Chains A and B, each alone.
Chain A
Amino acid sequence: MKGVVGSDSSFSGGVAVVLVVLVIDMDTIEVSNLNRQFLFRQSHVGQSKAKVARDAVLKFRPQMSITAHHANVKDPKFNVEFFKQFNVVLNGLDNLDARRHVNRLCLAADVPLVESGTTGFLGQVTVHVKGKTECYECQPKPAPKTYPVCTITSTPSKFVHCIVWAKDLLFAKLFGDRNQENDLNVRSSDAASSSDHAEDVFVRRKDEDIDPYGRRIYDHVFGYNIEVASSNEETWKNRNRPKPIYSADVMPENLTEQNGNVAKNCVVDTSSVSAMASLGLKNPQDTWTLLESSRIFLEALKLFFAKREKEIGNLSFDKDDQLAVEFVTAAANIRAASFGISLHSLFEAKGIAGNIVHAVATTNAIIAGLIVIEAIKVLLKDTDKYRMTYCLEHITKKMLLMPVEPYEPNKSCYVCSETPLSLEINTSRSKLRDFVEKIVKAKLGINFPLIMHGSNLLYEVGDDLDEVEVANYAANLEKVLSQLPSPVTNGTMLTVEDLQQELTCNINIKHREEFDEEKEPDGMLLSGWTQAPPAKDDKQSMNDKQSIGNGGDSSNALQTEPADAVKDGEMEEISEPSGKKRKLSEGSKASILDATDGTRNHKEVEKLDDDDDDDVVMFDDLDSMTNKKKRLQ
């Protein structure tokens, strides 16, 4: 919960209405929330947001009925029947997946949805009513940013690439699940890495002291691997070769003398264990040198083994894990130094690695007020007055708050208009599994699909399936489309459903023999559906630390840190009105979402995580609504 609703949504005494509110939020309160989520206090850190918010609101509006659910809105118990209870749904979510999910449920339940988002000084509120306005998915939203594997493993050019390497490859390899596939030793020209050899290198040997182990790892990833990569002529023809870095060159002295004692047996609260503290580097805003980064790297590694050995093998990166952030920053910095990329401070690195969305109290307060205003219009069924309102950072046409009439539903939106899509695919070569993974789940966002060809069930997911069915479906997944029990060939119409979202999607299959390996690596082409462009990144150089305020994009003027190119979640929501068909013409601005697409050629590295912070706040109205005095006159 962003602290967006709550006090900002309570009604003034003049309105004779009994409100029943239900809040859903799966998150607990963190210190970094407190700068804006004002219903929470320091003493609430660790507690459920939904519950504390409810208690706080009841203090100044004791007559309200508020139910708090400490739960994930995607939980199946929040089904269409559940949503039908409400007169309006207000979203304060910060990830695309949950928003799409709620959008579909609201459409199925025919409940108006007020959506919103903020990032720094930008914000927006939109209203979605089935049949009357666009649904949330009528306009494409950018997918989270991903990077080609080879950029991460071999040819980084931006600091963010180094972060991804340090976090998803090195950290995962050293401290995460050993059995997980890891591209750490993959080189672009050598897809087949000898995984056994890789295993040896990264695992600490039985009697190996921590210092030599640390240096060995250091030398392997920053020295040896770089030398090997550097030797490939083709890769470096048009690029600057990276420089291998060896610990002996950077830190000739014996580190145990430098770093001071770390008593292995002393019981320390793991949350306070810090390499920076050990080395006396106090300011997270300082940019470390290569030497400092190297020291932190070794010290952090040492501290993990000395103080948190039990966790090794199970750790996943958490931006609130100080030691993990220190390690990743250090590793990314050393790699950056190798590739001639600027080093960054811990503060900056943490923002990138943790996909931190910058946020202030004021924008959230403005958006909260606007959400309530729209909610009231919905409750009053004041259809003509519904607006999409944009909170701008810079005055445009004399406005800081710009309302725009909602657009009519997009006729080709497969979510709300049920227009059939077209899929070009090689039906003799592609398997059902490919279809499910790459189209149904990845593109359509249907995670629990039911796939039918006419009246024949090709595939479904569910708890109530018997063994025979499960076996059948598993077998179907491995069959090519034309070999399915109910063959899927050119001209076939497939129906894909999500029972929870009550979404039905029809797909016309067109057989095609050949696909371009570069442009269509999946061997499939879905049309009648607009692929959302990746989050804007490429124009902003991570190499220099100047503030980057491109007029139209969501990074803002007052920021001194480099624009965080990998923030998704919120960033993708802040789209300025694009000049599409609408009811009235207001001033329109070009969309900030450029379709910069040069990164789809290669196998994609895993996506960066969202900051999962799901919540939905809804108003429920009782019969007394009919007695309500009109407030806006």
Chain B
Amino acid sequence: MDGEELTEQETALYDRQIRVWGADAQRRLSKSHILVCGMKGTVAEFCKNIVLAGVGSLTLMDDRVVTEEAWSANFLIPPDENVYGGKTIAEVCCDSLKDFNPMVRVSVEKGDLSSLDGEFYDKFDVVVVSCCSVTTKKLINEKCRKLSKRVAFYTVDCRDSCGEIFVDLQNHKYSKQKIEETIECQLRYPSFEEAISVPWRALPRKASKLYFALRVLEQFEEAEGRSPGEISIADLPAVLKLKKELCEANALNASHVTDSLLERLIIGTREFTPVCAVVGGILGQEVIKAISCKGEPLKNFFFFDIMDGKGVVEDVSSPKKESK
């Protein structure tokens, strides 16, 4: 992959996708470096997609030990203790992912991402985080934004049969096709902190309920010192109380965030594999767009819910800035 031309091997392997996004985009992919932190089923799907796409490298961070929950929704982890015993999630996933595309360098990084400095982040073009607290998300996002080079930032989480993706591409220039011509465009993205600080009243009335529900849960887990997903039906009354408070603070009717949705998300903390495939696929596509600078990336939240079957994009930006 050194040098400008794609190798014969790459051309043969990537033929079908080069026909989608072109050789130039494929070259950019092969030079890109992705960092992933927090590996559950959805992130596993994303990793599979991005490795198949032929990125330069993929670095995995997840020091948790493999449990039954881990391999039940993460197809990169075989349910065989002989294989995963004694290894961290990242280590097992790394072994599996290498298999998918020998041309991609897959490696493991141990430690706490939020404590690493800018020099570490500078190695990457894309950072994807999952299963972390709202404070951690903000922190990592800020570190990405501090660098002079643009590091694209994504969060992705699935609970029960729902999924959410957040995208921050800072200032993103890209090209898109309109009929027969290529148009150059630009998008400005708010940071994660800016986005979730947008007053709820400023959002469209029909904005996805999932957005609000997940913010409530985020805040609850943060306030209670829980890890993401460390929640049960016993917490429902406290969560509903918090929901009421947040709605009041945002001058929003409490019924706007449905109790049944919150209940569903609390009970079903595990991921559901088909949702992982859908959300991991969307995320994969978005990252490819960001790296190749071709095609309009979504801005800035994506939601999927099996119940209505919709994959919805919400633009949660400060009301003062008109982003076109």
Residue A551, interface by CB 8 Å: yes
The interface centre, meaning the residue of A31, A402, A560 with most chain B CB atoms within 10 A of its CB, is A560
Residue A356, interface by CB 8 Å: yes
Residue A260, interface by CB 8 Å: no
Contact flag A38-B52 (CB < 8 Å), given A121-B285, A360-B17:
yes
Contacts of B12 in A (CB 8 A): 31-32
Digit string of B41-60 for contact with A (CB within 8 Å is 1, else 0)?
10001001100111000000
What is the distance, in angstroms, from A536's C-beta to the closest C-beta of chain B? 14
Residue B2, interface by CB 8 Å: no
Q: How far is the CA of A364 from the CA of B178 in the complex (A)?
A: 25
Q: How far is the CA of A564 from the CA of B100 in the complex (A)?
A: 29
Output the nearest chain A residue to B289 by Cβ-Cβ distance: A558
The interface centre, meaning the residue of B68, B180, B274 with most chain A CB atoms within 10 A of its CB, is B274
Residue A285, interface by CB 8 Å: yes
Q: How far is the CA of A362 from the CA of B289 in the complex (A)?
A: 12
Residue B296, interface by CB 8 Å: yes
**B313, A559: Cβ atoms under 8 Å?**
no
Contact flag A559-B21 (CB < 8 Å), given A12-B271, A38-B52, A60-B79:
yes
Contact flag A351-B313 (CB < 8 Å), given A10-B273, A60-B78, A372-B277:
no
Residue A365, interface by CB 8 Å: yes
Residue A399, interface by CB 8 Å: yes
Q: How far is the CA of A82 from the CA of B177 in the complex (A)?
A: 47
**B274, A373: Cβ atoms under 8 Å?**
yes
Contacts of B243 in A (CB 8 A): none
Residue A236, interface by CB 8 Å: no
The interface centre, meaning the residue of B14, B271, B310 with most chain A CB atoms within 10 A of its CB, is B310
Residue A598, interface by CB 8 Å: no
Residue A264, interface by CB 8 Å: no
Residue B241, interface by CB 8 Å: no
Contact flag A559-B296 (CB < 8 Å), given A35-B13, A60-B79:
no
Q: How far is the CA of A403 from the CA of B102 in the complex (A)?
A: 37
Output the nearest chain B residue to A364 by Cβ-Cβ distance: B281
Main SS class of interface, A = loop
Output the nearest chain B residue to A348 by Cβ-Cβ distance: B19
Cβ 8 A contact of A550, one of B41, B101, B179, B294? B179
Contacts of A564 in B (CB 8 A): 19
Digit string of A264-294 for contact with B (CB within 8 Å is 1, else 0)?
0000000000000000001111000000000
**A551, B52: Cβ atoms under 8 Å?**
no
Output the nearest chain B residue to A555 by Cβ-Cβ distance: B177
Contacts of A19 in B (CB 8 A): none
Digit string of B250-286 for contact with A (CB within 8 Å is 1, else 0)?
0000000000000010000011111111101110110
Q: How far is the CA of A359 from the CA of B21 in the complex (A)?
A: 10
Contacts of B52 in A (CB 8 A): 34-36, 38, 361
Residue B20, interface by CB 8 Å: yes
Residue B25, interface by CB 8 Å: yes
Contacts of A360 in B (CB 8 A): 16-17, 20-21, 53, 285
Residue B295, interface by CB 8 Å: yes
Contact flag A7-B75 (CB < 8 Å), given A285-B23, A400-B302:
yes
Contacts of B292 in A (CB 8 A): 558
**A62, B79: Cβ atoms under 8 Å?**
yes
Contacts of B21 in A (CB 8 A): 360, 558-560
Interface residues of B in 121-140 (CB under 8 A from A): none
Contacts of B304 in A (CB 8 A): 401
**B309, A403: Cβ atoms under 8 Å?**
yes
Q: How far is the CA of A285 from the CA of B276 in the complex (A)?
A: 36
Which of the 9-residue segments A144-152, A171-179, A414-422, A541-549 touches chain B?
Answer: A541-549
Digit string of A349-381 for contact with B (CB within 8 Å is 1, else 0)?
001000011111111111011101100100000
Contacts of B179 in A (CB 8 A): 548-551
**A32, B277: Cβ atoms under 8 Å?**
no
Contact flag A361-B53 (CB < 8 Å), given A38-B48, A560-B23:
yes
Interface residues of B in 45-85 (CB under 8 A from A): 45, 48-49, 52-54, 68-69, 71-73, 75, 77-79
Q: How far is the CA of A498 from the CA of B177 in the complex (A)?
A: 46
- Report, as a range, how many residues of chain B touch the other chain: 35 or more
Main SS class of interface, B = helix
Interface residues of A in 324-354 (CB under 8 A from B): 347, 351
Residue B11, interface by CB 8 Å: yes
Contacts of B311 in A (CB 8 A): 391, 399-402
The interface centre, meaning the residue of A12, A13, A42, A60 with most chain B CB atoms within 10 A of its CB, is A12
Residue B24, interface by CB 8 Å: yes
**A560, B313: Cβ atoms under 8 Å?**
no
What is the distance, in angstroms, from A613's C-beta to the closest C-beta of chain B? 12
Residue B5, interface by CB 8 Å: yes
Output the nearest chain B residue to A400 by Cβ-Cβ distance: B311
Residue A569, interface by CB 8 Å: no
Residue A194, interface by CB 8 Å: no
The interface centre, meaning the residue of A351, A398, A548, A631 with most chain B CB atoms within 10 A of its CB, is A398
Contact flag A398-B314 (CB < 8 Å), given A363-B285, A365-B45:
yes
Q: How far is the CA of A550 from the CA of B177 in the complex (A)?
A: 8
Cβ 8 A contact of A365, one of B22, B49, B100, B289? B49
**B49, A395: Cβ atoms under 8 Å?**
no
Q: How far is the CA of A31 from the CA of B101 in the complex (A)?
A: 12
Contacts of B75 in A (CB 8 A): 7, 10, 60
Contact flag A8-B277 (CB < 8 Å), given A398-B313, A550-B179:
yes
26 A-B Cβ contacts within 8 A?
A9-B274, A12-B41, A12-B72, A14-B270, A35-B16, A35-B53, A60-B79, A356-B15, A357-B16, A360-B17, A360-B285, A362-B49, A362-B53, A369-B273, A389-B309, A391-B311, A395-B296, A399-B311, A400-B313, A547-B180, A547-B182, A549-B178, A551-B178, A557-B294, A558-B177, A558-B295
Give 5 new A-B contacts, CB below 8 A, not counting A362-B281, A362-B284, A369-B281: A121-B20, A362-B282, A362-B285, A365-B48, A558-B294
